[in-house]
Homo-oligomer: A and B are copies of this chain.
Amino acid sequence: MDLSTVKSIELSVRTRFLDNITQDDRRVILEKAQQRSVATREVIVRGGERASAVYLLRSGRIKYSRVTEEGKELLLWLLTPGDVFGIATILNHPPGYLGTATALSECDLVVWNESAILDLSKHFPELCRNSLRITLEYLAAYARRHSRLVSETAPQRLAYTLVQVAHRAGRVLPTGVEVDITNEQLGGLADVGLFTTSRLLGDWERSGLIHKERGRIQIETPEKLLAT
C-alpha cells in the first residue's frame, strides 16, 4: 500500500487494533496491508474456513453471522467502521473463522494477509495485545447478550438492543437518533423472532416512541424506550 493511501486511512478511521502504537509504526503496519473494496451481498470470509487474513473495516456495514445445524442463520454482530475481524490469523495454526462476513453495503477494507500479520506481530507485540483486548470485549458483549436472553423478556431485549445499535451506528438528528437497520437484523441481534419484532416496533411507533420506515428507525427518546 502506498504512502498517500496510508495517510488517508490514518485520518479516516480510528481502530482499537492500532491503539498504543506510534504513528510511525502505524504507518509501517499499514504499508504491509492491502486495500480492498467489496460489493453489497458479497461474502468476505466464510465461517469454518482456516483464518488467513485480518480485516479492518474502513467504511460500510458488514454482518457477521453463522449458520446453525438446522440451517437457520444466527446474527452474531453488525460490524461498523473501525471494527476488525479475522483476528485469529495472528496465531500460528490458526483456528477457523467463527462466522461468515457478508457486506450489507459497499465496503472499503484494509487487509493483512497471513504472512504479513505474522511478521508484524513479531515486531509489534502490541498487535497481539490489542487483539486480545478486542476479543475479550467481544466475549463480554456476548456474555451480556446471553445473560439477557435467559433473564429478560423480548420487549426488554429489543429495546436495549435498539438503543445500543443506535449508539454505535446511529446518526444524530435534531429530532432524535436515526439508524439504518431492518427488522430482521435488529431481531437477530436481540434474539427476538421476526414477527414479534415487527409487532413490538409497531406498538412503539403507535406510542410515539419511535418513527420507522423500511430499513430505518428513528428513536425520539431512548430513555423512555428502556423503561419498557
How distant is A159 from chain B, measured CB to nearest CB, in Å? 14
Among B72, B99, B140, the residue within 8 A (CB) of A151 is B72
A87 to B152 alpha-carbon distance, docked (Å): 29
A70 to B148 alpha-carbon distance, docked (Å): 10
On whether the beta carbons of B74 and A151 are closer than 8 Å, the reply is yes
Chain B residues contacting A74 (CB-CB under 8 Å) are 146-147, 150-151
- A88-102 interface code vs B (CB 8 A; 1 in, 0 out): 101110010011000
Chain B residues contacting A131 (CB-CB under 8 Å) are 132
How distant is A196 from chain B, measured CB to nearest CB, in Å? 13
- Tell whether A174 is near chain B: CB-to-CB under 8 Å: no
On whether the beta carbons of A88 and B143 are closer than 8 Å, the reply is no
Chain B residues contacting A90 (CB-CB under 8 Å) are 129, 132
- Tell whether A165 is near chain B: CB-to-CB under 8 Å: no
Q: Number of A residues whose C-beta is below 8 Å from B?
A: 40
How distant is A84 from chain B, measured CB to nearest CB, in Å? 13
- Tell whether A137 is near chain B: CB-to-CB under 8 Å: yes
- Tell whether A68 is near chain B: CB-to-CB under 8 Å: yes
A residues 97-150 touching B (CB-CB < 8 Å): 98-99, 122, 125, 128-129, 131-133, 135-140, 142-143, 145-150
A158 to B211 alpha-carbon distance, docked (Å): 42
How distant is A172 from chain B, measured CB to nearest CB, in Å? 27
- A62-78 interface code vs B (CB 8 A; 1 in, 0 out): 00001011101010100
Chain B residues contacting A151 (CB-CB under 8 Å) are 68-70, 72, 74
A132 to B132 alpha-carbon distance, docked (Å): 5
Chain B residues contacting A147 (CB-CB under 8 Å) are 66, 68, 74
Chain B residues contacting A135 (CB-CB under 8 Å) are 132, 135-136, 139
On whether the beta carbons of B150 and A191 are closer than 8 Å, the reply is yes
A residues 36-71 touching B (CB-CB < 8 Å): 66, 68-70
A contact set with B: CB distance below 8 Å: 20, 66, 68-70, 72, 74, 76, 87-88, 90-92, 95, 98-99, 122, 125, 128-129, 131-133, 135-140, 142-143, 145-152, 191
